[in-house]
Each structure stands twice: as structure tokens, then as C-alpha cells.
Structure 1
Amino acid sequence: MKRSVLYFALFFLLCGLLPGHAMVHRHKFVLKDTPYTRLCSSKNILTVNGQFPGPTLYVTEGDTLVVDVINQARENVTIHWHGVKQPRYPWSDGPEYITQCPIRPGTSFSQKIVLSDEIGTLWWHAHSDWSRATVHGALVVYPKKRNDHPFPKPDAEIPIILGEWWKSDIQAVVDEFIQSGDPNVSDAFLVNGQPGDLYPCSRPDTFKVTVDHGKRYLFRMINAVMNNIMFFKIANHNITVVGSDGAYTKPFTSDYIAISPGQTIDFLLDANQRPSHYYMASRVYIIAGTAGNTTTTAIIQYTGNYSAPPEPVLPILPDFNDTLASTSFTRRLRSLASKDHPVDVPKNVNKILFFTLSINTVGGSIGGRLRASINNITFVPPRIAILQAYYRRIRGVYGDDFPSNPPFTFNYTQEIIPQDWLTPQNGTEVSVLEYNSTVELVFQGTNLVSGIDHPMHLHGYSFYVVGSGFGNFDRDRDPSNYNLVDPPLQNTIAVPVNGWTAIRFKANNPGVWLLHCHFERHVSWGMEMAFIVQNGKSPDAKMLPPPPDMPRC
């Protein structure tokens, strides 16, 4: 009897089924070209398992996933697990030529995704060229004790992915972008893959959510849009924000959401209005130009006996250029900072970085081809992954002299900036951080060529957003107003147009980790860099070795 009990215990332990032991989940992602129809037109798109958006994965805090990525398409691809810290294991992080070479057609790669303290909504997406336009999906992380949320238990939950659609092939859009210097705007925005009633040929397929009056619903929202912060609103309903970027937040009520590309927002909806049909709608926040017909819709429909209106009620969204609405929402995010959910904000910083974020031009003229830079360096991708070069000590792939400050100081947000300041330098440089160093990084937006918001995403880490403001950051004045009590824990943060944002984190995850703007056109122009976090002294502070099937360059 004792031996049988031991065998059962070993079986459950290996399967991760005993209390306190993480599960190992195995999935297969088959990438292939799939015919899809939207906006009265058909084309082939790159999909995972034939789905668009791709499959939603459900895991528990601390679990591990093994995802067999099989590339049956015609193009290279990588998969990034957005918001997963991957402790000591950057090999499966995914960005092309940063942590891995691409998965070539006809090959595969088994990615091990290691979860740690993330709880809530994360997502996965392609991280090669612009493939994430159609290759993306939700990653839902439940707490170890199911329904142990610091908010009222919802009756149901609904993933919501904001995306977009081009009638032409996305690779053709990229090729034309490379030739012309600026990408064509998409033909529609999407809610869970559908444009909604306001676009032609879309009404029969509009995404619908059925709710019962008096019940509460948890919406898990992801902005997978390529180049825009988005406003979102549900007609006649308020929502309660309870999480963002895989972390809980102090609940707050709002009648709209502003969400950056790469960001996730968890919110509760109380179905407490008169039973009817109501639109939920989303459109861009954009500070220059016009928004056009960019409103995508889905429908909240109550159960019960009533006459549905011929047209659901449409919410009134903030104006497309309402910067205050965008920044005000973002600044309302706060960590719980409670006994059960404490914060660990670095108080004594020993590494201070100041990064300017700029749109530049080639040749220093306003009419020149556009580039982008961090501290005046336009990133040039190598042909060997930086992680591989670092681990194998291959010389000549990258430099380790990324500047901690911009090359010279000026009024970054002044209205007119001399044209000879517009040209950046090309480089493949990294910034090296000592293990366990405490880092403060201030992002400063500039008005070179044009000021614009920049949603910045750091791989391998979540960070505390301790401050933000408009204009130039003042080192003597602004830190005194930092929030070190309950700052939000994010992995993606929108730096306001012609403004600044300060973040803090502890460099305790060794490896190579990408930092970039999550506007895809800015990445294509070169607004990215990488950190190398060195190994610590103890065995559990060192980067783990690579898997045997790492893709080859």
C-alpha cells in the first residue's frame, strides 16, 4: 500500500498536479498561410492553427508552457511571450536577431515559457517583421487559488483583442513601406478579428457578447494594433479597471479606456442597464492628421424578451486627438500595494539612465526619409542573434557602449529644432547592467521632426512607473514628485507626446532583453536597443543554457 501511494505521488508530482507544484502545459502552434475574408475581400494571411486571432492559452501562476512552433508558412517567423519575464531563460523570449534567429519555413522550435509572478492577462505575438498583424493571441494567467482575485468574482470572462486589417498582403505593405518610408494606414480596426457594423460587408460577422442583467463580467483586453494607442468605450456603461500587464491594480471606475499597443487592461462590466443592444467601440488616439473612419464596433446584447433597436446605442468616444484623455487614464493606474499584494519599488537607485526617443530623418532635412532613434542611435539588427553572440562570446556582432545619456543636451520639446540635429547614428549597441543593480530609466520624448507618444516595452521585466509629465524632465525637481508608494507595475508604458516617463526596476534577470517602442513603424525605423544583464555569483543567479533546437541563422 505504501509503495502504491508513493507511485501515485510521484505520478502527480511529475504531472504538476500536487498542491503547490506548477503545471507543465504542452501546445502546438502550426504557422501556415490561411485564406480569410474581411471587408468584402479575400486574401491569405499567416495564422497559428488556422485561427485569427490565434488560440487563447490558459495557465496558472508559476506554470511552464512548452509550445512546439512548427513553421509551415513561406516566411521566417518568431513568437514572443509578451509580459512573461522568462527568469534566467531568455532563449524563448522570441525577438528576431535579439534572442534568436528566425524559425525558417519547414523547421520548428520547441519554446519553453517560464511563468513566475505574473497574474492576469498577457499575450503572445510574432516578433519578426510585421507578422504580428495576424499572428497573436491571449495568454490568461490565473492565480494559484482559482478565483482568488482581489475583486468581486465575475460570472464569466471575455478576451477582447483589438487588431487591424489591411486588404493587401501585410508583407506587401511592409515592402511598400520600406520603399516609400511611411506605411499605408490599415483599412479597418478589429474587435476579436471582426471590423464591426460601421464597415462594409461586416455586419453579419460583428463580434457579440451576450450578458444577463445583474451579472458581472471580466473583460481581458489586449491592444494588438500595430501603430496606434486606442480609445475604447461601451455605450451607457461604466467599467471598473482591476488589472494591467499581468498585475492587479487598485480598482477605479471609468467610462472609457486608453490602451497602448502591447498593453493589456482587465476590467469588470456590471450588466446593469435596460436590456437592449449596446455598441462597444474603439478608435485611434492620434495627435496629428485625421482619424478618418476608424471606429470598430462589437455588440453587448442582453438576454430577455425585448425588442432590439434597429441600431444599437453608439458610445461617444474621446476626440481622436485628446491627449489629456489618453494620459489621464494611464495615470490613474496604481498598484494594490496591500499586505497580500505588496510593491517592491527600488528606493536606492545605483544606475540612472536617460533615454531620448526621437523621430529622425536621413540627411537632416524635413523632407528626408524617416528614421527613429534612442539617444540618437538608430538600431541596426545584426545577422546573428545578440544572445547567441553573448553566450558563445562571438566578437563583432554588437557593441557594449550604448550611451546612458543622449550625446548632447538641448530643449528636447522646443517647437523648432535645427535641421542638422535630425540625423541619427546607426549602431548595434547594448547597455550592460550588473546583476541586482537598481535601475531608474527616464524616457524623454523629443520634438525632432515631430513629437508623438511612444509606448515603450521592456522584455524580461515588469517595471514600476514612478512618474511622468509633459515638457522636459527636470532632474532637480521632478523626482521629488515620484510615486514610490503604489506605482503601477507595467511592461509597456506610453511616454506622452513631448513629455517624459520614469520607470524603476531591479536587474535581477540575467540575459539579453530588448527595449523598444511598440509602434511597429518606429521599430522598423530603428527605435530599439537591448540590455545585457550579467550573471550573478550564485548558481540561481546565472542564465540557463540554451535548448538543443535553437533556430540557426
Structure 2
Amino acid sequence: MAWNTTVEYTFDVGNYTVERLCNSLVITAVNGSLPGPTINVREGDTLIVHVLNSSPYNMTIHWHGIFQLLTAWYDGPEFVTQCGIPPGGNFTYRFRIVDQEGTLWWHAHSSVLRATVHGALIIRPRRGNSYPFTKPYQELPPILIGEWWNSNVVDIENAITEIGDAFPEPDAYTLNGLPGDLFNCSQNQTFQLSVRQGKTYLMRIINSALNNQHFFKIANHNFTVVAVDASYTNPYTTDVIVAGPGQTVDVLFTANQPVASYYMAASPYRTLTGDFLNVSTRGILVYENSTSASPVNVTMPINNDTATAHRFFTNITGLAGGPHWVPVPLNVDENMFITFGLGIVACINCTGLGDGRGFSASMNNESFVLPSGRGMSMLEAFYQNASGVYTKDFPDNPPLVFNYTDPNLNNGLQDIAFAPKSTKVKTLSYNSTVQVVLQNTAILAVENHPMHIHGFNFHVLAQGFGNYDANTTEPTFNLVNPLVRNTIGVPVGGWAVLRFIANNPGIWLAHCHFDAHLPWGLAMAFEVENGPTPGTTLPGPPADLPKC
């Protein structure tokens, strides 16, 4: 395609019928495809996406990454930056792609429709075809790791929300919407890629799953990681990729094995005990001129291999001095220590935990509630300086200091498992530097949570297990070439330290990217104040912004 200053797409979100796992199911998707369209742009382009909602559900689209400042109106989360596009309605998202290159993605940010409403967003360099690595022979189609349920996901969510229960395990995992040959009726629904022996390829991997992190491998092949979340990295060689929901990984790999076909596979990385779907979704990498009857098998890590996951997440560093690199800000204006994890809520008809109790979640003992039914989104309230939609008292620290990762927590601290429901934000001055320690808690369970901050990239200065100790950890901060991400997998029973500059006015959601945890309340929001000039002040809402 020809590259232009302005790139336009039309998304028609509607229902259509697909065949999976021996069944027919009506799903909601964009332009009748799963995954939806891949958006191709160059850094510096203006992207315009016209969304027509032909589905029976309210709809919003969220775009991972950072874009031209002052575009908070187009961020997408329902009731945060906009209200849903109603059935039969439309809304146009428009922003300029700035200061990032690589793979991002887009997805529905309304209900659990993200399961089938998602796709890749690929940003290539503006300066010719230059990358900060040797140009590959070819770029392969992006690979989106997903999940599949044999029922309508919105109906599932409505049913489990009413009783405070957990979201059920999927019936299959998928690669680009296809379950692969280990699942029923799926021999002919297996994703395939073709390569030429001796050539090096650029592969883009996206975890678009609702509730599972994944390992990804290709039999007998290694990868060289060159970017994560559209931020370049120092080259890192590995035989396994790990990605949580919301995360993207760009890798180079060379087809340097004998001419044959090889299985590629994604399998869950799970740190919770209990029953789950422990079956890989498989695709096939086929060498040109291969005559092999069956692909070479791939051996996956065990599902709870935290050592492998942690090694992957912590060995990658940012490409300091590379394209769009931003040095770590050294002077911190705001320090926050945020505990987060699961909890308990008392509710009528709750059966999730029995005895009138259901699952809940919180950050600093505040369980976030989206402000539906309040007449406007949080961003509209910010712009109009209206009260009654949210409050500005999200705490900088938890209300109680305790042994956050004690495995015996549930025996003695049940009172802190109950968090009040609220819609609270942390107010940040424009251009202030914010440091956040995210601390897992062991209330009910411990797991690796993929935490996503809208509107900003952040430096990951350190991460580890157990309780965070500033005295021992701060001297080890990587202030030279830390990883830059927009979604961080906070280690199971551990912590991570993030730092970013609040230079994007508006309301920005921060939440766990396990979709089951967001409606439980594992979220908060940052309110970033306007700057001192018209160019640093949030403009008025677009004329076609959906009404609440």
C-alpha cells in the first residue's frame, strides 16, 4: 500500500456466525473477521478509524500505546474517556502516531467483547525502512494468541457477575482465531506460516487473550527479541517468548533448520492452583519445498514455570539511545506504593465463594467501580470540572502495612480482604515524574498480574519476589537502559517499580489486563492536570462523542 500522511480505516462491528470445535456460534467481530483488520501505519502518520456499531452491544475501542498528546478523548475505555457507541451508532477515532515503532494492538474496551473484537496495530519507521537492527528478509503476518468459548462471552460475564463468580476457563486457546489440531474438529483450523530456509524474518506476537498469560515457542528455533510494546530493546536471544494479556513482542528468527515443517505453540503460564485448560494451541511453520508428513513437535514449559517467565521478563533491556528512547527521569515528584490483588465482596445471591460472598479485587484497598449511570464519562467530568462522577482521593499508600505476600494471609487478615467500592483517581500535576511500586498481595491467591497503564509508556526500574524493600532495591535500580513498556507482568507474589512522566492531560485508566479482574475492581485512574499553555491543555470533546 502507499504510505500517506493520513491513513483511514472503517471498522464495521457486527455479529456473524463461525464454526469452531464442532459448533456454530454467533460472535461479535470487526469486518466479519477474527482477528480483526491489521492496521498498518508509519510513525508520524495520522490514523483515522471510523467505527460503525452494527452489533447489539455498546462498543468502544482502545488503542494500546501512546499517541499524539491531547487525544485522551480517543483512548476508548467505556465510562472513563467516553461512553459506549450504542447499537446503530458510530464514532471516529483520530490521532497521530508519535514516538514509537513496532507492534501494538487495538481491542474492545467494553465488557468482555475483547475476546473477539481485536487486531494488530503495526507502526513502521518513517525514515525509509530503517530499523535499529539488520533488515529482515520479510515480515510475517502478526500472530495473536487468543481464547475461545463455546458460548456468548457477554452472556457468560452477565451470569457470573450476578453471582460474584470467576470467569470460566476457555474451551480452547487460539492462534489468529484458530484452535489448532489438538482440539476437536480443528484439523483444518490450524494456523500456518511459510518460510524459506536460511532467511531471517520479523515476527510480531500479541497476547490478545482475556485471562491467560502464555508461553510461545517454535520447535528447534530461537528468537531474538528486538522490541516489546512498540519500544525497541537490546537484542535478547531466547527459545521461548512469554507474554501476558496486553503485551506485544517483536522478534527476529532465522529459518536455519533442515527443510521440514515445525510446530509452533502457545501454552498457558499459570501460577494459580486448580483445574484449567492445559492444552497447547498449535500452528505449523512450513519450510518452502518441505515434504515432511508430520511437523517436528515442540516441547513447552510446564504451566507454572515462573523461573522461565521471570528470566524472560527481567533479562530484556531497553535500547538506550535508539529511536524514540527517553532517558529515565531522575528527580521524582510523586511516590506511590500500591498494593493490589484479589478480595471478597458481600452481595445478594453471591455463590462465587459461598455464604453470600463473591470475588472482588482492589488497589490500595479501594475496589474500583466504573461510573456507569452518572450521566457522563470521567473525562467529560474532568473537562467540565463536574462533581459526582469520581473523587480525587486515591491513596498514595495502602491503609494497612502487613506482610503482603504471606501465604497464610487468609488465616488471619480476612478483614483486609473486604475493600470498599469507589471511583477514585490520583491527581498528578502536568509534567510531574511519578514512581509507582506495584506490590502483589497473597489475599486469596497469588499470581502474575499484567498491569496496564493507559496513555503512557513507563520505565521498569526493577522487579522481584516477596515484599518490596526500598533500602535494598533502590541501589539496584536500572537507570541506564531499563525496559520500556505499557503493560508489566508483576511477578507472582512480588513487585515491580515503574517510573513515567505525566505529560498527557486527561483521565487515564490503570488496571489488570486479566479481564476477569477489571469488573472485580482491580483498577484505578490517574487524573493528569492541564499544562500552562494552550498546547498542553485538553481540548474540547469531539462533536461525535457518544452520549451517555
Shorter-chain TM band:
over 0.9
Q: Find the counterpart in structure 2 of residue 539 from structure 1.
A: 534
8 Å Cα contact 2:172/2:277 also seen in 1: no
Matched-pair identity in %: 45
1:88-140 alpha-carbon deviations (Å, 9 max, x no partner): 11001000000000000011001113211010000100000001000000000
Q: Structure 1 residues 476-485 or 486-495, which shifts more?
A: 476-485
Residue 434 of structure 2 aligns with which residue?
A: 439
SS at match of 1:265: strand
The aligned counterpart of 2:24 is 42
| Letter matched to residue 123 of structure 2 | V
Tell me if the contact between 1:510 and 1:534 (Cα under 8 Å) persists in the aligned partners: yes
Aligned-pair CA distance for 1:363: 4.5
Q: Which residue is equivalent to 1:369? A: 358
Question: Normalising by structure 2, what TM-score?
Answer: 0.95
Please list, as runs of the form range in 1=range in 2, the aligned pairs for 1:205-244 lying within 5 A after superposition: 205-244=189-228
In 2, are the aligned partners of 1:65 and 1:113 still within 8 Å (CA)?
A: yes
CA contact (8 A) 1:85 1:459 kept: no
Cα deviation, residue 325, structure 1: 1.0
Q: Secondary structure at the match of 1:526?
A: coil
1:273 aligned partner: 257
Specify the SS of the correspondent of 1:477: helix
CA separation of 1:342 and 1:82: change in aligned 2, threshold 3 A: closer
CA distance in 2, matches of 1:276, 1:48: 35
Residue identity matched to 1:192: N
Q: Which runs of 4+ in 1 moved over 4 A?
A: 363-367
Tell me what 2:241 maps to.
257
Deviations 1:269-307 (A, max 9, x none): 100100101000011011122444421000000012x53
How does 1:325-474 map onto structure 2 within 5 Å?
325-338=308-321, 342-363=325-346, 367=354, 368-383=357-372, 384-417=376-409, 418-474=413-469
Deviation at 1:547, TM superposition (A): 0.7
CA drift of 1:544 comes to 2.2
Tell whether the 8 Å contact from 2:369 to 2:519 is kept in structure 1 after alignment.
no
Tell me the SS of whatever aligns to 1:344. coil
What's the CA shift for 1:420?
1.8
- For normalisation by structure 1, the TM-score amounts to 0.94
* Secondary structure of 1:328 counterpart: helix
Q: Is residue 67 of structure 2 the alignment partner of residue 85 of structure 1?
A: yes
1:323 aligns with 2:313: no
Structure 1 residue 99 corresponds to structure 2 residue 81:
yes
2:512 equivalent in structure 1 = 517
Superposed displacement of residue 175, structure 1: 1.8
Q: Which amino acid aligns with 1:314?
A: N
1:348 maps to a residue whose letter is: N
For residues 355 and 141 of structure 1, the distance between their equivalents in structure 2, rounded to whole angstroms, comes to 32
| Equivalent runs, 1:127-166 vs 2, <5 Å | 127-158=109-140, 159-166=142-149
Residue identity opposite 1:92 in structure 2: Y
Taking the aligned partners of 2:509 and 2:256, their CA distance within structure 1 comes to: 44
Matched, 1:301 2:286: yes
Corresponding letter in the other structure for 1:502: V
> Tell me, which stretches of 5 or more residues in structure 1 are unaligned?
1-15
Tell me the matched-pair count. Answer: 532
For 2:492, what is the secondary structure of its paired residue? coil
**Residue 339 of structure 1, CA deviation:** 5.9
The residue aligned with 1:121 is: 103
Give the drift of 1:86: 4.2
CA distance in 2, matches of 1:283, 1:40: 22
Residue among 172, 181, 186 paired with 1:197: 181
Contact preservation (8 Å) 1:86, 1:460: no
Match for 1:389: what amino acid? A
Q: SS of 2:547's equivalent?
A: coil
CA RMSD of aligned residues (A): 1.6
Look up the equivalent residue of 2:266 and give its one-letter code: S
Task: Name the CA distance, whole Å, in 2 between partners of 1:277 and 1:223.
Answer: 24
Q: Distance in 1 between matches of 2:68 and 2:536?
A: 13
Task: Note if 1:68 corresponds to 2:50.
Answer: yes
**Corresponding position of 1:492:** 487
Shift in CA distance, 308/120, structure 1 to aligned 2, threshold 3 Å: same
Does the CA-based 8 Å contact 1:467-1:501 persist in structure 2? yes
